[in-house]
Amino acid sequence: MNERIIPIADARYNAGTPSVPADPDPATGRLADAHGRMLRDLRISVTDRCNFRCSYCMPPAVFDRNFQFLPHSSLLSFEEIARMARIFAGHGVEKIRITGGEPLLRRNIEALIGMLAEIRGVQDRPLEITLTTNASLLARKAGALAAAGLRRVTVSLDALDDGVFRAMNSADFPVADVLAGIDAAATAGLRSIKINMVVKRGVNDQEIVPMARHFRGTGHIVRFIEFMDVGASNGWRLDDVVPSAEVIARISEHFPLDPVAPQYPGEVAARWRYADGSGEIGVISSVSRPFCSSCNRARLSTEGKLFTCLFATSGHDLRALLRGGYSDQQISGAIAQLWGQRTDRYSEIRSEATSGLRRIEMSYIGG
């Protein structure tokens, strides 16, 4: 008998309501966790829906036509998201990344971008607003997003070969349309466009060099990401991981590379520059070379659960506070308590014991 297992139906709701300090201290812009890691980056999922079914994120055997996504009433409104962003900015968040699912599926997403662009952080500095997308709708949305205040975009593209790409996205979506979206983003004035490629051995690793070759000299930066054990449904195996060192070696055979110093503390991707000056690439090595020690990112799910690690097994229900009549200072105090107690370092302690944990899906809290 065939049984269909949906491992996240209950896990995505696994979140407790945070306690609120009786007399919360005002935010100082410098919020450190138990390991001294400062909060600087907030990733906000605006939808759990996606029009792709990539095997490493939303495998079609699980996320089929019968899968029940969150009802619209459960999602944070744009006003609630902007309120949360202002509170986090008070704690020192400098960058907000809008993600999903596929964020461009959220209707009028450019209105949210405009609201976030008005927020000021510590020392009255504007926040850096970025967005990650599969680019299926980017060609038609790029102009409006840029006009609303978006400055950077990251596009997921796992292959240039059309057959490999269509097989990976399980949506029969062509590479040409993704490339058109990237071109539209550049035309609209979005800067530092990054292209994320999740590399899985035996599936698309033959595309490493073609991806490097295609975007070399364009000003866009390809980032090669090790296939990660996010969630409980993507069938992750260590044998499927292509270590970043191997990626660099393969590319260097064709286009010599030199290492580049990080631009800022906690930068996820290790940077490499082409020796001939024709641009750079990045590698994200969360399996082979974990960077938990400098992780400064928090994640807010589409219906307001706070997760302090990409590999979390549970979250904290901030929506209950948003809709429960609590003040900004009270919610700020609750966040300060949660971050101050944070000890997450999953990738550094990845083991047989931790591999069996039921983690939250990437499509639910964003990458």
Residue 342 lies in a domain: yes
Q: How many domains does the chain have?
A: 1
CB crowding 197-210: b at 16 or more within 10 Å, else e: bbbbeebbbebbee
The torsion region of residue 273 among left (phi > 0), alpha (psi -120 to 50) and beta comes to: beta
| Predicted local confidence at residue 78, as pLDDT | 98
| Predicted local confidence at residue 292, as pLDDT | 83
Fill in the DSSP letter of residue 110: H
| Predicted local confidence at residue 293, as pLDDT | 85
| Predicted local confidence at residue 158, as pLDDT | 95
| Predicted local confidence at residue 10, as pLDDT | 40
Mean pLDDT of the 71-83 span: 94
Residue 1 lies in a domain: no
Closest to 87 (Cα-Cα) out of 26, 163, 148, 144: 26
Q: What are the distances in angstroms from CA 123 to CA 28, 90, 93, 119? A: 11, 10, 12, 12
Is residue 122 a contact partner of residue 92, using CB atoms and an 8 Å limit? yes
Residue 6 lies in a domain: no
Residue 4 lies in a domain: no
CATH number of residue 88's parent domain: 3.20.20.70
Convert the pLDDT of each residue in 132-179 to its tens digit. Answer: 999 999 999 999 999 999 999 999 999 999 999 998 888 889 999 999
Convert the pLDDT of each residue in 275-296 to its tens digit. Answer: 999 999 999 988 888 778 888 9
Q: What are the distances in angstroms from CA 289 to CA 240, 268, 348? A: 16, 11, 8
For tokens 């690793």, the residue is 205
Please tell me which residue, 360 or 152, carries the higher pLDDT value: 152
The pLDDT confidence band at residue 207, using thresholds 50, 70 and 90, is very high
| Predicted local confidence at residue 356, as pLDDT | 55
Mean pLDDT of the 302-308 span: 93
Convert the pLDDT of each residue in 18-32 to its tens digit. Answer: 999 999 999 999 999
Convert the pLDDT of each residue in 218-247 to its tens digit. Answer: 999 999 999 876 655 565 677 889 999 999
In percent, the amount of the chain with pLDDT more than 70 equals 88
Dist CA 149 CA 311 (whole Å): 31
In percent, the amount of the chain with pLDDT more than 90 equals 69
Which domain range does residue 237 map to?
A: 11-365
| Predicted local confidence at residue 353, as pLDDT | 45
Residue 242 lies in a domain: yes
